[in-house]
Amino acid sequence: MGIYNLDKIFSSAPSSNSVIAIISSGSCRRQSKEWQLYRNLLNDESSRQIYLIDHGHAHLSGCPVAVSDIYSSLKDLPEAPELVVTLGPLADIPELLDGCGVLRVSCLVVMSSKTDLESDRLKVEIAARARKNRIRILGLNSAGFMVPAARINLSLFNIEVSGGRLALLSQSGAVITSVLEVARKRGSGFSHIVGLGNLNDINFGDMIDYLGWSAKVSCILLYLENIKDVKNFMSACRSVAMIKPIVAIKAGKSELGRKLVEKHTGCQAGDDPVYDTAFRRAGIIRVESIDELLTAGDFLINHKVPAGRRLGIVTNSGGLGIMAVDALASRSISVSELSADLSRRLKEFVAPYSGSLDPICIAADADEERYRKVLELIFAAREFDTIIVIMVLNSDLDPVSLVEKIRPAAAAARVHLVYAWIGDQNYSVAEIAGLDDCSTRICFTVEDAILSCYYALRYYEKLSKLVLTPQRYSSDVGYNREQLARARESVESYLDNRISSLSSHATRKFIALYGLPVNPSYITTSLSDTLRLSANLGYPVVMKINCHSFDYKRDIAGIILNLHNDDAVRKGFTYLNKIALEAGLSDFNLILEKMVEGVDYEVNLGSRYDIEFGPYIFLGPGGVASRVTADEAVILPPLDRNLAGRLIDRTRLSRCYREVRTFDLEALKDILVRLSQMVVDLPEIETLIFDPLTITGDRLLIVDAKLKLKPCEIASPAHLTTTPYPNQYEFNETLKDGTAVLIRPIKPEDAAAHHCMVAGFSPQTRYFRFFSLREEITPEQLARFTQIDYEREIAMIAEVENDGEKISIGVNRLIFYPHTGEYEFAIVVTDRWQHSGAGYLLMDKLIYVAKDRGIKEIFGLVLRDNLTMMNFIKKFGFEVVEREIDVCRVRLKLVDD
């Protein structure tokens, strides 16, 4: 249900005058959960009414609830509650949900958990009843929630929590307790603390969407064990991480840890390496401990994101400068080298031993003026994005004065400054708070300054990767569409014939349809055919048993390498037939292929299916070693050459390429992109392994492969965790005057053209589109316009060619609002191309895409005096549903009621 009713749960429903019902588990003794929950709810000055529902009023010794507020059932309450909390058995919840539905309850917080005797079918029934009654469920096994600023503590936590801009989402109540205790000692504050429990309804994706819209939240912290709704999670994170950092601890890294997660949550969790790559694609910063979680949150709360990775250090202490360099290096961050020109300009200010090195040491006696001149020279050179300014304070240094004087120049140069003030500080908290902003950070240790840079750079890297959205069909790799259709037909034929595991020979023929370089294999049926084929191929050759029913020929010694003559082929033929019969194989034959010699590298790559994230690509060393220990990197499809290169960079192959022996790196990227395309096109692929892919000089060849298929009812690309660029929505059309126009989804690289288009709007067009006369769109707005999540929204540009240059002449947009579940359209055409037919094409395609995605209706806001637009949209069937002073709300139903 998305974020339906979440606002009522976390703001309206538990307000100071709301009504809350607690359903007892049968005990309300002192220190019971009911007792603690009731005390937490009353531990403020609100006038909210709290009722306890306890069958028979049993075990009420020491209960803080007045007897007059205790009832036997929900229907006996004198007024309807807005929120219900239950600690009772799960078996009672389906009926309870029906009762809540009659009373129009917004949310049911389930603090009880499933026992081993209660079936998963009960969880499914609970979820179904909740949907039927339009009630949100927090839990099962939820620890409740807190909203400190609103003095709401509907939880089991008895720890004082300060208000702040961190939001914490956790599946574990014990982890929340640990985080709050550490936060209390550190002085960290929270806007929301939510115990999600087993994610039976409200999940991480829903909460991230909800918090992403809240101005009270600046950074989101997660403790998660599994996700459940992966597509919703990834889509929400990719959308929100653009504007707010998301930091996560993922438990269950080890095999035993994953088993414990399954027992704890009742659901299996995906493999940890797949979580790692999913977090990269979603823009999530992963940490390993509670202390690191809070440290990252505190440093990222003001979104101090640099413009790039170029980092420098200015210090008046050589020792502290060296420590800073080492601390950065331990986190894989290097300081930038100074240019010869900047070194020359700085020469008169630096210590003799510093020379042209970074860190720039300006000696222990440096005063405020020297710091100012050095920093201004650095800003003028435009060689750095971040500067760590280490200041061992002395009587000639006024750090507050320096920060205030240098701030305008730093802002003009777009340089992020991180100060480390070392020594006695006599400055008030208010003074420091006034200096600390989105481009300036004040720290009091070198370690904190390093951590500030570290997390800022990690967030910068995450943002840069969020804009990577490969196309569904890669345009830089040529495909034979007839062969792709044959591949689809082959999959359907295999599954119709109940063949799920393909032999090496069948797999190689299959993957060759995608243009992958395979070492051809040939089926032999007799010794004479084998001898003839060996002579044609040329010695040495390889002979293998070919069969659908086992994965590795080596498992039964079913492969013979380096057959150099006819006599060796005769012996091999007899031996392999004997081995196959002894193994009980009935559906086998022998295949012959040319021996690949002089191999430099063996590579193991392919695709597997993760229980949570679906298909993923892996790459690592090949041969027998790959079956003993998996030293591989993984990534989620789809891939383009850029992402394929990043995958290679995370393996030993990258180092081999640079330091041992080079090979055709672009050819390996091509293979990865083609493999990805197979996985995107064919949801039925369960496992596809190329073992090995051999690299011999610049020749790459797949010499063995194995494919396993599974029936799948989900059509491509819905089986993918990350939605590819939808180039199925590219349309070549013609304007009224015959000009060719391409209508296509917008891409991040369209930012410059989009900026030029908006800059060329007349004041009237600007006013009608933005409801204002804004002169410029900010870089942040431009990023939001062009870097979109195709899973939940779409924007399409109209592109024509003018004097050999491609220009954008119009754009449409379909925006999803998760807080209401509605889709809003917008459309604009540049002044020169209005009345050319571009607007009609943009609207027509927008409606087509909306229908294709199953959207039921779209709405828009149009200024009442924009008569041209009102007449235009009426042609498509829009109707006015609301009128305000200046604006009309219009609606188009796409599905009949």
The mean pLDDT value for 505-516 works out to: 95
CA 209-473-604 angle, to 5 degrees, is 90
Residues with Cβ within 8 Å of 623's Cβ and at least 6 positions away in sequence, in order, are 602, 604, 691, 692
Helices (H), 397-521: 399-413, 429-435, 446-466, 481-496, 504-512
Give the β-pairing of 794-802 and 805-817: antiparallel
The per-residue pLDDT for 615 is: 97
Q: Is 166 helix (H, G, I), strand (E, B) or coil?
A: strand
pLDDT computed for residue 486 by the predictor: 95
Q: Please give the Cα distance from 510 to 502 (Å, whole number).
A: 9
- For residue 745, the number of C-alpha atoms closer than 13 Å in the C-beta half-sphere is 22
- The CA distance from 337 to 312, in Å, is 8
- Global pTM? 0.86
Q: What is the bridge-based pairing of β-strands 162-170 and 152-155?
A: unpaired
Please report the pLDDT score of residue 540 as a whole number. Answer: 96
Instruction: Give CA–CA dist 319/757, Å, rounded.
Output: 53
Using DSSP bridges, classify how beta strands 601-610 and 614-621 pair: parallel, antiparallel or unpaired: antiparallel
Residue 550: helix, strand or coil by DSSP? coil
C-alpha distances out from residue 435 to 311, 407, 427, Å: 21, 9, 11
**pLDDT for the residue numbered 13:** 43
Other C-beta atoms within 10 Å of 802: how many? 10
**Is 224:250 a contact under the CB 8 Å cutoff?**
yes
Task: With a cut of 60, say whether residue 273 has pLDDT above it.
Answer: yes
Least confident of 198-212, 325-339, 533-547, 555-569: 555-569
Tokens of residue 484, six digits: 């792709």
Give Cα 340 distance to the centre of its chain: 41
Give residue-wise pLDDT tens across range 369-385.
999 999 999 999 999 99
Tokens, residue 707: 């494919």
Q: Which of 201-210, 463-472, 786-795 reaches the highest mean pLDDT?
A: 201-210
- Range of weakest confidence among 29-43, 207-221, 223-237, 879-893: 29-43
R_g (Cα) of the chain, nearest Å: 32
Asked if residue 540 has a cis previous peptide bond (ω within 30° of 0), the answer is: yes
Most confidently modeled range among 26-30, 748-752, 853-857: 853-857
Express each pLDDT in 116-163 by its tens digit. Answer: 556 778 888 999 999 999 899 998 999 999 999 888 899 989 888 999
Residue 283 pLDDT greater than 80, yes or no: yes
Can you list the alpha helix ranges (DSSP code H) found in 741-862? 751-759, 763-770, 779-786, 838-852
One-letter amino acid at 559 equals I
Helix or strand holding residue 86 (H, E) = strand 83-86
**Looking at the chain, how many residues does it have?**
897
Q: Where are the alpha helices (DSSP H) in 266-395?
A: 272-282, 290-300, 318-329, 340-346, 368-381
Residue 516: predicted pLDDT:
96
Residue 45 binned pLDDT confidence (cut-offs 50, 70, 90): low
Structure tokens at 736: 């009224």
Q: Which 3 state secondary structure label does DSSP give 728?
A: helix
Greater confidence, 222 or 774? 222
pLDDT at 193: 97
Residue range 539-555: mean pLDDT, rounded: 77
Can you tell me the mean pLDDT for 213-236? 92
> What confidence score (pLDDT) does residue 477 get?
64
| DSSP three-state, residue 211 | helix
Local confidence band at 497 (pLDDT 50, 70, 90 cut-offs): very high
Q: Write down the mean pLDDT value for the chain.
A: 87
The helix (run of H) or strand (run of E) holding residue 605 is strand 601-610
How many Cβ atoms sit within 10 Å of the Cβ of residue 509? 16
Residue 549 in this model has a pLDDT that exceeds 80: no
Q: Is pLDDT of 474 > 70?
A: no
Q: Which of the listed ranges 385-389, 722-726, 748-752, 781-785 does the model predict with the highest average pLDDT?
A: 385-389
The C-alpha atoms of residue 541 and residue 297 are separated, in whole angstroms, by 60
CB contact set of 185 (below 8 Å; sequence gap of 6+): none
CB neighbours of 181 closer than 8 A, spacing ≥ 6?
159
Q: Residue 614: is it exposed, middle or buried by C-beta count within 10 angstroms (0-12/13-18/19+)?
A: buried
Reply yes or no on whether the pLDDT at 818 is more than 80: no
Confidence of residue 46 (pLDDT cuts 50, 70, 90): low
Give residue 9's pLDDT: 85
Given a contact cutoff of 8 angstroms between Cβ atoms, the answer to whether 273 and 634 are in contact is: yes
Q: Helices then strands (H, E): number in the chain?
A: 29, 37
Going by the DSSP 8-state scheme, the letter that residue 473 receives in this structure is S
Report the pLDDT value the prediction gives residue 259, as an integer from 0 to 100.
81
Q: Could you tell me if 385 and 308 are in contact, meaning their C-beta atoms sit under 8 angstroms apart?
A: yes
User: Which helix or strand (DSSP H or E) is residue 824 part of?
Assistant: strand 822-829
Give tens-digit pLDDT for 403-455: 999 999 998 999 999 999 998 767 766 677 778 777 888 998 999 999 999 99
Distance CA 731, CA 844 (A): 11
Beta bridge partners of 173: none
Digit-coded pLDDT (tens) for 819-875: 677 899 999 999 999 999 999 999 999 999 999 999 999 999 898 888 999 999 999
pLDDT tens across 705-748, in order? 999 999 999 988 889 998 888 888 999 999 999 999 999 999 87
More confident residue, 457 or 57: 457
436, two tokens: 């600390």
- In our burial notation (b when 16+ CB lie closer than 10 A, e otherwise), range 159-194 reads eebeebbbbbbbbbbebbbbbbebbeeeebbbbbbb
Percent of the chain with pLDDT over 90: 54
Residues contacting 767, CB < 8 A, separation 6+: 773, 863
pLDDT above 90: residue 223: yes
The encoded tokens of residue 666 equal 């672009």
* Contact between residue 603 and residue 619 where contact means Cβ atoms under 8 Å apart: yes
To which residue do tokens 């579940």 refer?
821
pLDDT band at 12 (very low <50, low <70, confident <90, very high): very low
Q: What is the pLDDT of residue 18?
A: 72
| Residue partners of 521: CB distance under 8 A and separation at least 6 | 504, 505, 508, 544, 546, 591, 592, 593
Sheet of strand 311-315: strand arrangement: 360-361, 311-315, 386-392, 416-422, 440-443
pLDDT exceeds cutoff 70 at 475: no
Locus of tokens 């995906």: 270
CB 188 within 8 A of CB 297: yes
Q: Are 367 and 374 in contact (CB under 8 A)?
A: no
Bond into 140 cis (ω within 30): yes
Query: How far apart are alpha carbons 733 and 843 in whole angstroms?
Result: 13
User: Is the pLDDT confidence value at 304 over 80?
Assistant: no
CA-based diameter of the chain, in Å?
A: 99
Tokens representing 338? 């100074």
